[in-house]
Structure formats: structure tokens, C-alpha cells
Structure 1
Amino acid sequence: MAKTIAPKFAALTFLARLRRNVKGNTLVIVAFAIMPLLAMVGSGLDMSRAYVARDRLQQACDAGSLAARRLLAGPTLTSDVETEARNYFNFNFPSGAFDTTPFTPVVTVPAVGTVRITATTAIPTTVMKIFGFNTLPLSITCAATQDFVGTDVVLVLDMSGSMNCPTSRPNDACGEIEQSGSKMQALRDASESLYDTLESAQNQLHNNNLRLRYGFVPYNATVNVGRLVYAKDASYIRNSAPYQTRARTGGPVYSSLNWCNAYDGSYSSYWGVCSNYWTYQQATLNTATFKTGASVPTPGGSPSTATSKWAGCIEERQTNNTTIDGGSLTTAPSDAWDLDINRLPNSDASRWAPWWPETEFDPDRRAIYTDPKYCASEASRLKEYYGDKAGFMKYLNDLQPLGGTYHDIGMIWGARFISSDGIFASATPETNNQSDPDNPRKLRGFSVRKFMIFMTDGDLSPYLDVYTTYGAEERDKRVLGTTTGNTTQLAAAQLSRHLQRFRMACNAARAQGIQLYVIAFSTTLTNDMRDCATQPSMASGITTSAALIQKFKEIGTKVGSLRVSQ
């Protein structure tokens, strides 16, 4: 009996000992855990590799769609567009990259103006194949869309005499003669690069019954917009206006050898001694005929048979010289109509007067304040230059730098030229008319995009004793008002007020929805200039002609940009 019980007892004793003994358990646990751990690590490695491959695949897709969209000119896919898309795609993601399976990108045009690319492939696994997962699928889609909306670009260009100089010479070293390698030539070259950069977008817009238009506002101490305003509505230009002029008061009968045209328009003198037979004063002159462009007798002219003809520059309308005191206010007061971009003229105070330098006399020098030649080159309203690069360049080639620098007047009229709510507003604010000469808010259902490029090569520099778009400041006091002081103090006060006007004009321009670029070429980019731009990155200080050309090209790329929509 004992012999049969002992083995059973021994077996039970072994099992009990085995149950109580924990030696070797770790090996068992590891044996059971290693497989899921291997799966976890392996999937992480394979997924990371797949993620990198997919990212590269997406980049290639985006590059291909953008390249194809630039080439797309019609509503349907062409073989050239398809080839361009695949070339860019394959360059950025060569066949077999990351050991992916062979595939061909599929290029389509799902809607007018959009190129879409889809691609599907697979990437082999390294560790996960142990668990039966031999590949991981990769699939991407992208689309590039051109925003087909009407686009207006106005260039506000400093045409002061310093533009005649190269960047290597002082601003006052070239007089009134354009030198070889001038900043003016750099501006022409830069503008040409802008046109070339935007030409493809211009053609596509035109082919879709939309348009890209350019306008130009050259400025110095004046701005030549009068004939354009007159053509829009003759009543916007005054029929009479005050001028610092002179009137004859008589004189002796001609009786000797000499004559003095600075003193008396009838050449009167006696015994070689000149006497002053003029009364110098502000007087209201009739401009009804002068504003038509006809040649008229010059009031106060010498000789008395002198005539003059309007060159097109204007005197600004009513302003404010009390609230605008050079301070921190950046919103123009309501009665500063010169800074009101959209106010329509309905009274003499809200109309513009012809700039008439032949009638404006300095009583101290007994001569005119300003030579008529200092009227700025005539501005050009927004228009298409589709297929007319020659016309675009001719305008720029005809510009003549001359005179001083009033940034405020340039900014004011740049905004007026592009605004959809001012004197150039369209009679049909929402139109489908591609040939509308005015400024609609919407063209073919989409809001018109507005861009301004403001370029200067110098600081704002107003004059006390020169006849400008604000009159002869030392006499008219349109900016200084009742401010008193010596010449230095008055000049400082005048500058601070014009700088404030510039800030107000910038603020008014941005309020029109204008994307505003500011370029300081071969001059300091001041805080006022930087703040004028829509955002700081859109203000640039440029020192060389090559950099100016590159900047205009960069702006053109942004204006005519494509966007990746997926």
C-alpha cells in the first residue's frame, strides 16, 4: 500500500514546489510580451517612414499643381499642362523614391481655373511584414487655383529731381538732367519686371473677361491730374479761384531807352529808371477758359500780351490748418476735404483749382514764384495694358524727374485713382463690363483687388517760398495757418504738418481696402513710411538698382500669386 501512495505523494509535492517556485517567470513573461512589443516598435518605424514619404509626396503634388496652373490658359486640360504637372511632380518625387510602388499622377481640371492632381502608391514595410502587413498605402490630392478677380495696381512715383541721379551720387548733384544709371532708369527697369511678372496673370484675367489694370501717379510738389478730372466732370474744376498775383496800377508813357518787364507789363520806364507800377495781392481770377486748355492772356503777365496755357496740375481743395497741427492724430478732420478721398465736389471749396504759376508772384522778388515747367508729369488713370507692353513702357520712358517732394499729395491722389467710391467710381458698382473705364466695386461678381506701390527716393521736403499744390505757403498759409516764428521755426512746423498729412493720407488709403506697398529707394525707410504700408513686411528700404528690380518682381509675384487649395 505504501508503495503505491509514495509516487502520488511525490508528484503532488513536485507540483506544489513548482507552483511555489517563481524562478524563471521573467523569461516566460518576456516570451509572451516580445511579440506585441515588436509589433509596436515596428509599426512606429514603418509609420514614421511612411509619414516622411507622404510628406514628400504632398510637396511634389503641390509643386506640380502650381506649375501646371501657371501654364493653364483655358477651361480644359491640355497635354502641355499635363506634362508640366508630371514633370514637376516627378522631379520632386522620383519614381521609386522610398521604394514606393510605381504609379502615375492623375492630372485633371475639375473647374475653370483649377488644376488637381491625385496619386496613389504604397510603401513596403520593414518590420510589420512579420505580421503580414507587407505594404502601407499612400494617397494624396492637391489642387492649385488662380483667384480670378479683377485687379487694379496704381504706382505712386516720386518724380523729384533727385531721381535723375544714380544711387552712387548725392541727390542734389545732377540738377535737371537725367544721368546714366539714374534711379529713374532703375525705376523703369523695375516697372518692366513688374509687368513681365504679371503678364501671365494679365492674359488669364483678360481671357476670363476680367482685367488687370495699371495706373500711375507721378508727383513732386505738384500732381498733374487736372485734365483727367476735367474729362471726368468739368464742373469739378473751379471757374474762378484766388491767386497771389498782381495788377497794373498804370505808369509813365514810354519815353526812353530801357524797359522793365518785372515792374510793368507795358515796358514803361523813363530815363533808365524802373518804377514799380504793380499792386501785389491775392485776387480772384477767372479760370473758366483757362481750365479748358485754351491759351489765355496771363493776368499780371509781362509783357501785357503774355499768354498761358494750363499744364494740368491742380491746387488742392479746402483743408484744415488748425486741427492738423503736426500732432499724433492720424484721422483727417471732417473739414479737411483735401484728405477726403471720396468726397464729390459740390461747391468751390470742394473743387480743385487749376495750378497757374504764371500768375503767382512773389512781391519781394517781383517775379513769379515757380517756373511752369515744375508741373509734374501727367498722371495716367487705371487702364489695361493687355498686349501693350510698349505702351506701358512708353509712359514710364516719358516721365521727367523735376522739382521737390510732397509725399502727401502723391498718396492722396493714388488713393483717389483706385477708390471705387470717389470721383472715379463706376456708374455701375457691380458690373460685368470688362471695358468699364471707371472703378467698380465688383467685376463679374467678385470684389476688385486693389494694390498700391508707393516709391520715393527722398524725404518729404515742403517749401515756404515756392508755389505748390498748396499755393505759396508764405502768403497763403494753407498749411501753417496762424503759426508764427522765424523762417527756421516756420519750416519745421510746415514739415511736421505735412508729415501728419502723409500719415492721414496713408490711413485713408488703407481704409479703401488697398494693399499698400512702400519702397524707400536709396533713402532712409522712416517710421512714417513703414507705418504707411498695410503691414511692416510690405515696407522696404532698397539701396541698389538691382534690389529695386527684384523687389518689384517680388511684389508682382504676390499680386499675381497662385494658391494651393488642398
Structure 2
Amino acid sequence: MQELRTNTAGNTLAMAGMALFPMAAMIGGGVDVSRIYLVQTRLQQACDAGALAGRRQMGGGSWTANSNAARTSANNMFRANFDTDAYGSYQGTSTFTENAGTVTGVATVKLDMAVMQMFGYGTKSITVECDASMSIPNTDVMFVLDTTGSMNCPDTGSSYCSNNGNNEASNARIRGLRSAVKCFYETLAKRNSDEDCGSTPSPGSANTAHLRFGFVPYSTNVNVGKLLPNDFLADNWTYQSREAVTRLENVIVDYTPGTPYLYNTNYYYDGNWTGTSTIDTHYNVRNSNACDDLKPNDYDDMSGNEGPKYNEYTWTSGGQQITRWYVDISGTRYDYSTSYNSGQDRCRIQLRTRGLTERREYRQVNQPVYQQQQVFSHYDYKPVTFNVSGLKAGGSTWNNSIDLPVGNQGLDTGVRWDGCIEERQTVRTSNFDPIPAAAYDLDIDRVPTIGDPATQWGPLLDEAVWGRYNSSGNRTSSTVSSSNNLSRNYSYTCANEASKLRRWDNPDNFDDYLDNLDAIGSTYHDIGLIWGARLLSPTGIFASENATTSTGGAIDRHLIFMTDGDTVTSSSQYTSYGVEWYDRRRTSSGSSPSDGDLETQVNKRFLAMCGAIKNQNITLWVVSFGNGVSASSITNLQNCATSGKFYNASNSAQLLENFRTIANDISQLRLTN
């Protein structure tokens, strides 16, 4: 026994037999755990895919819209990515729900153990959860919207329509634009506008990230002046206007008072006669003639004082100043009569009285005092520089009008300012590749230098502007002298006031802004895009507001440009570059510009600005609206847009879908769990 106890021969076999069971457990566990991990991973991937598909299908609308299309899409995507019999699993289920814009999925399958059953582990239930939502990064969106007269026209049809009489058609394009932008707002901001967008943002889903919207409505001009600090506008600006011309004359400056004199007197009865009364009786009077001889004479007693002056009036005659006035004196008229009785030879003296007013007219002749002075002669119609600093009320506060010496006889008169501006220095060129350094009007980021008008803007003052024409009735750039008001000889419109980037947490304010947009004026694409870029730029005139979020975060920037037509210009319009026929700031100074010259300039500057915007890492979306856009304009609009960001809408319904697609693209679909 002692030998057997110490004998180690054959121990390995026994040990190997004893290790067989734990080794089987280890190997089997590894196999089954690998199967569990594989099934769980694929199940999670399928759940994620389903949640993402459901959220994308939902877009900016409702989870239950279109017969629960979003939930159906989520389940279909799940099944496409996970076969419930895969890897030996069975009894698979998937459930997708939505709350406040977030889609949540729960997926479960069962998996029988292949090896671990011998150790008492039979079936494993595997469950995964997944969430997906549409969210946006810190985002600024600037809308540059065509609000020209043609936006009043119907959104369908091919017949020509200029401005529909400046009245909105029942299906006007401007109405389709309002609807599309409001639904864009609903999709991106998750706030409910007054527009019926097909669904309502889910309660509690409102976007609380840094999300701002700005607007630049444009037509012939843009209304941005009152958004700027006072220092950004020049103190003096030159206009096609008129200047008073004077001459030296002897002018009456005063009068030497003359001596008043009584000019005329009139009497007027005041009230009725009193009753007749006997004041004296005489007897032994032989006859009536003798009785009449005893009667006192009638008389007027005007012993009262003169009353105050009234109806004073002054006029001039023969260089003299004549003043007339009246005074009244109250008195009494005494009227005597007789009554004779021949039988008694009696004579009675009778009296009645009546109120009397004496009206005295006085006059005074004043002699003139002369002095030599400059007096108004006529107006010279020509370019005139005015001091317009009176519009500045401090900081970013502005007055709505200014007094300028363009009224009758050279007098000051109030000239209103609605907020539209004239552009700063530009250059006459047809080559904008690259943009000339001296073309400050195309420099998005140049901040004006105080006291340097070349870098500043000027107010558009249409009431201070006149055109002029020669004796033949033709326009002329020469000075014209006239004592009359010449025809304005130009047309002017100012778009609705632009809005800087800001939060629009109250949908009513957003709706009101769009509802108040008016469609009027011609189509100058360049000026709209220029100011959209300036108001959006993180490094320009509003860098302090636009560079980062309030917490220093980065911002994604998007500019959405929408137009319904080709460039439309006219040399007779008062634009951001003056009255084009007279000012010629961007066309040849030696000849009057044609409409074709101006259209070429606008289109070239528009495309130059498109490139400048994209170079600032701003996503530029361009939408063409309606059937009236020419092929060449479509090409320009396509070239303007960031690659893949051009849309063409033939009617309002397509415009709404285009804007909704843009909003969804700006939003980022992501898994949240």
C-alpha cells in the first residue's frame, strides 16, 4: 500500500479526465457567449437602423402622419437588417415609439445555448434599446427673399405677369413664399406657426440650441439702414437734387409807423325803438305848424368811449403798408314828434329813443424801410451735397426725417427716410474675378471708417432727388436752371425692413414678419445677396454678434436665396447706386447706361458675391420659383449655389417641399442612445 501510495505512474490520464468537464464548460461558454454577443450586436445595429429610418421618414412632421408611415418604415428597416431566425435566434420582436421628436426602439429575441445546456443554461433572452432624433448644431440661417412686384402674380401659369397691379393674387407667389418659410421654421425650430404644414411639431420638441433666423427682403433696394450704428453712415452725401440760387435785392425789412386817422364812420341801430312818451304840453297854440315849431330837433348822443380794436387787417400798396381797424362807440338816438289838438289849442311834445352804434374805421399808413439782401431767384438742378447727419439720433437710433433746403423758394422742408441706403464706393468694371480691392460695395467684411465716406453708406432720400431734362425734353446730365419743379424723372421703391439674426422663440413674431412682406419693385439680385452676406458674416460689421454662440461655440451658417425671376433693371430707377441714368456709378461715366448694361452689371456682381459667400464657409442654398425664369438665369442660379444646393420649384407646393428638404438637410439625424 505504501508503494502504491507513492507510485505516480498514470497520473496524467486521471488528471486529464478530471479536467475534461471544466474545459468543456469553458469552451462551451466561449462559444455561446460569442453567439450572444454576435446576436446582440446585430440586433443593436438593426434597432439603430430602424430608429433612424423612422425618424427620417417622420422628418419635420408627425409620427402618426400618412397612416403611421414612420413606424412602418422603422419596422421594415429593422427586419431588413435582422432576420429573426439569424444565428439560431427566434421569437424576435421590435417596437418603435416617438416622444417629443425622438424615436425609441426596443428589440428582443431568444437564443438557445448550444453547449451550456449541459450545465443548466438553456435559453437566453437578448434585449436592446435605441434612440434616434433630428437635431441641429448651432445654426444661423439668413433668408434673402425676392419681394419684387412679380411675387404678386399667380404661382402657376405661363402668361406674362409683371406685378399683378401691385395686388396679391389669391394664389400669389408671395403667399407661397410665406407658407414655405413658416413650414421651414416649424421643421427646424420645432415651433408651431400659423401655417398648416400638414402636421404640428410634437409638444416639448422645440429646439433650444443656438438657432437664429435673419431676413433680407429685396427688390430694387434693401431696407437695412436703421439696423446700423450711426457711424456707419456718412455725415454728407451727394444727390441728384436742386440748389437754390439767389440775387441781391432791396428788401423791405421793417416799416416806420404812420399816424392813425379816421377814415370812415357808419351808424347802426342797436335794438328796437322805445315806446313814445309825452315830455311836454303847450296850450294856446294856434295851429299844427306852430306846434311843430315847438318840437326840439332830433339828435344822437354819442358821448360814450371807443371800444377795443377789431377786424384789424394789413396790406401793402405801392410799397406802403396800410393797416385798417374798427372801433365801436355806443350811443342813443333821440327822435321827437308832436301831437296837436285844435279844439283845445293843445300841443304835446313826444319822444322815443333807440340804441345806436357808431362804427369808426381808422387807417394808418406805414412807410417801408429797405435793406439789401440775397433773395431766392431759381433752382439749379444738379448733383448737390447735403449734410444728412441730422438723421442720426445716437447709437443705433435714427430719426425718420431730416430738414433740407429743397422746399419752395429754397426753404427747408422735411424729407423722410424709410431706411433704404445707397451703397459705398464701387468701381466701374466688368471683371470681378477677383473682386477689385477698391470695390468696397462688394467687400462683405469691411467695417466703415468714421469720417471716410468711401467706406460708409448714405441714406436713400427720394424726396430730395430730381431728374432733369433739357429744352428739347430729353434727359441731360448738365445743370438745368428753372424756377419750377422739374419732373422727378425717376421711380423709387424701398423693400420691407430687413431683420438681423435673432432667436424667434415666439412664432407669432415670426408669422407677423412674413405676413407684412410687400411685393413691389424690380429685381436687383446683387444688392439682396450683398446685404444677406453682411448680416450673416462672422467676421464683418456684426462680428461681435455673429462670430460664436454666447458660450463661445462654433456656428453653422446657411444663406437661403429665393427668387422668382430674371434680373430686371431700369436706368430711371433710384437704386442703391443712385439714379442710374445720372449717377453712373457702375457704368461708363461718358454715356447713359442701357438696361442691358445694368443687367450685365447686376448679374456679374451677383455671381461675384456668390463666390465670396461660399469662400466664407457659408452654405449657399438657391431656390428658383415659378416658370418665368430664363435658361440663362437658371444657369447663374445653379452656379451661385453650393454644389448640390440648388432647387427649382414651379409652384407653391414644390417651393414648400424644397424648403422642407433644406430644413431637414440642415438638421442632423443622429443616434442618441
Q: What TM-score do the two structures reach when normalised by structure 1?
A: 0.69
CA distance 1:333–1:166, change in 2 (3 Å) = same
Conserved? CA contact 2:435–2:608, under 8 Å: yes
Match of 1:463 among 559, 570, 588: 570
Q: Percent identity?
A: 33
- Residues 320-346 of structure 1, C-alpha deviations (whole Å, 9 max, x = no match): 11xx31x4x443111111110011000
Could you say which residue in structure 2 is the equivalent of 1:424? 542
Match of 1:491 among 587, 592, 595: 595
Could you say which residue in structure 1 is the equivalent of 2:614? 510
**Cα drift, residue 448 of structure 1:** 0.5
Conserved? CA contact 1:163–1:171, under 8 Å: no
Letter in 1 for 2:509: G
Asked if 1:278 corresponds to 2:386, the answer is: no
Conserved? CA contact 2:572–2:579, under 8 Å: yes
Letter in 1 for 2:223: N
Asked if 1:379 corresponds to 2:379, the answer is: no
Q: Which region of structure 1 is more displaced relative to structure 2, 456-465 or 179-188?
A: 456-465
Residues paired across the two proteins, number: 445
Compute the RMSD of aligned alpha carbons.
Answer: 4.1
Asked if 1:501 corresponds to 2:608, the answer is: no
Between the aligned partners of 1:157 and 1:294, the Cα distance in structure 2 is 25
Q: Which region of structure 1 is more displaced relative to structure 2, 198-207 or 354-363?
A: 198-207
Between the aligned partners of 1:470 and 1:228, the Cα distance in structure 2 is 19
Could you say which residue in structure 1 is the equivalent of 2:642? 534
CA distance 1:252–1:340, change in 2 (3 Å) = same
Match of 1:367 among 487, 504, 511: 487
Match of 1:198 among 165, 174, 188: 188
CA distance 1:65–1:295, change in 2 (3 Å) = closer
Could you say which residue in structure 1 is the equivalent of 2:262? none
- Residues 413-433 of structure 1, C-alpha deviations (whole Å, 9 max, x = no match): 11111111111111xxxxxxx
Letter in 1 for 2:573: V
Conserved? CA contact 2:189–2:211, under 8 Å: no
Asked if 1:165 corresponds to 2:271, the answer is: no
Between the aligned partners of 2:521 and 2:606, the Cα distance in structure 1 is 19
Name the SS of the counterpart of 2:543 in structure 1: coil
CA distance 1:54–1:520, change in 2 (3 Å) = same
**Cα drift, residue 179 of structure 1:** 2.0
CA distance 1:464–1:65, change in 2 (3 Å) = closer
**Cα drift, residue 348 of structure 1:** 1.2
Letter in 2 for 1:149: P
Between the aligned partners of 1:413 and 1:139, the Cα distance in structure 2 is 55
Name the SS of the counterpart of 2:181 in structure 1: helix
Could you say which residue in structure 2 is the equivalent of 1:9? none
- Residues 100-130 of structure 1, C-alpha deviations (whole Å, 9 max, x = no match): 513466999xxxx998978575799xxxxxx
Considering fraction of residues, name the structure with more helix. 1
Could you say which residue in structure 1 is the equivalent of 2:530? 412
CA distance 1:207–1:70, change in 2 (3 Å) = farther
Match of 2:670 among 560, 563, 566: 563
- Residues 250-270 of structure 1, C-alpha deviations (whole Å, 9 max, x = no match): 5999xxxxxxxxxxxxxxxxx
CA distance 1:68–1:527, change in 2 (3 Å) = closer
Considering fraction of residues, name the structure with more strand. 2
Residues 76-115 of structure 1: matches in 2 within 5 Å? 89-90=74-75, 92-93=77-78, 98-99=84-85, 100-103=89-92
Between the aligned partners of 1:516 and 1:285, the Cα distance in structure 2 is 39
Residues 29-428 of structure 1: matches in 2 within 5 Å? 58=45, 61-65=48-52, 67=54, 89-90=74-75, 92-93=77-78, 98-99=84-85, 100-103=89-92, 121=109, 144=132, 149-167=137-155, 168=157, 169-172=159-162, 174-200=164-190, 210-229=209-228, 233-250=229-246, 277-291=378-392, 292-302=398-408, 304=411, 306-321=413-428, 324-325=429-430, 327=431, 329-346=432-449, 347-364=452-469, 366-370=486-490, 374-386=493-505, 388-426=506-544
CA distance 1:483–1:504, change in 2 (3 Å) = farther
CA distance 1:85–1:300, change in 2 (3 Å) = closer
CA distance 1:243–1:459, change in 2 (3 Å) = same
CA distance 1:122–1:349, change in 2 (3 Å) = same
Conserved? CA contact 2:238–2:383, under 8 Å: yes
Residues 470-489 of structure 1: matches in 2 within 5 Å? 470-482=577-589, 484=591
Conserved? CA contact 1:120–1:138, under 8 Å: yes
**Cα drift, residue 92 of structure 1:** 4.4
Between the aligned partners of 2:139 and 2:577, the Cα distance in structure 1 is 32
CA distance 1:504–1:483, change in 2 (3 Å) = farther
Letter in 2 for 1:237: L
Letter in 2 for 1:194: F
Between the aligned partners of 2:528 and 2:43, the Cα distance in structure 1 is 48
CA distance 1:204–1:330, change in 2 (3 Å) = farther
- Residues 143-178 of structure 1, C-alpha deviations (whole Å, 9 max, x = no match): 646555311111101111111111335231512222
**Cα drift, residue 63 of structure 1:** 2.7
Conserved? CA contact 2:219–2:522, under 8 Å: yes
Letter in 2 for 1:452: L
**Cα drift, residue 371 of structure 1:** 5.3
Name the SS of the counterpart of 1:367 in structure 2: coil
Conserved? CA contact 1:313–1:354, under 8 Å: yes
CA distance 1:102–1:360, change in 2 (3 Å) = same
Between the aligned partners of 2:572 and 2:595, the Cα distance in structure 1 is 10
Could you say which residue in structure 1 is the equivalent of 2:343? none
**Cα drift, residue 406 of structure 1:** 0.7
Conserved? CA contact 2:423–2:577, under 8 Å: yes
Name the SS of the counterpart of 1:249 in structure 2: strand
Structure of larger gyration radius: 2
Q: What TM-score do the two structures reach when normalised by structure 2?
A: 0.59
Conserved? CA contact 1:154–1:418, under 8 Å: yes
Conserved? CA contact 2:84–2:91, under 8 Å: no
Between the aligned partners of 1:369 and 1:549, the Cα distance in structure 2 is 40
Conserved? CA contact 2:623–2:648, under 8 Å: yes
- Residues 197-255 of structure 1, C-alpha deviations (whole Å, 9 max, x = no match): 113399989775x32111110011111000001xxx210011111111111235999xx
**Cα drift, residue 527 of structure 1:** 1.4
Conserved? CA contact 2:491–2:573, under 8 Å: no
Conserved? CA contact 1:301–1:358, under 8 Å: no
Between the aligned partners of 1:69 and 1:363, the Cα distance in structure 2 is 61
Conserved? CA contact 1:330–1:500, under 8 Å: no
Could you say which residue in structure 2 is the equivalent of 1:128? none
Could you say which residue in structure 2 is the equivalent of 1:32? none
Conserved? CA contact 2:46–2:79, under 8 Å: no
Could you say which residue in structure 2 is the equivalent of 1:441? 548
CA distance 1:154–1:204, change in 2 (3 Å) = farther
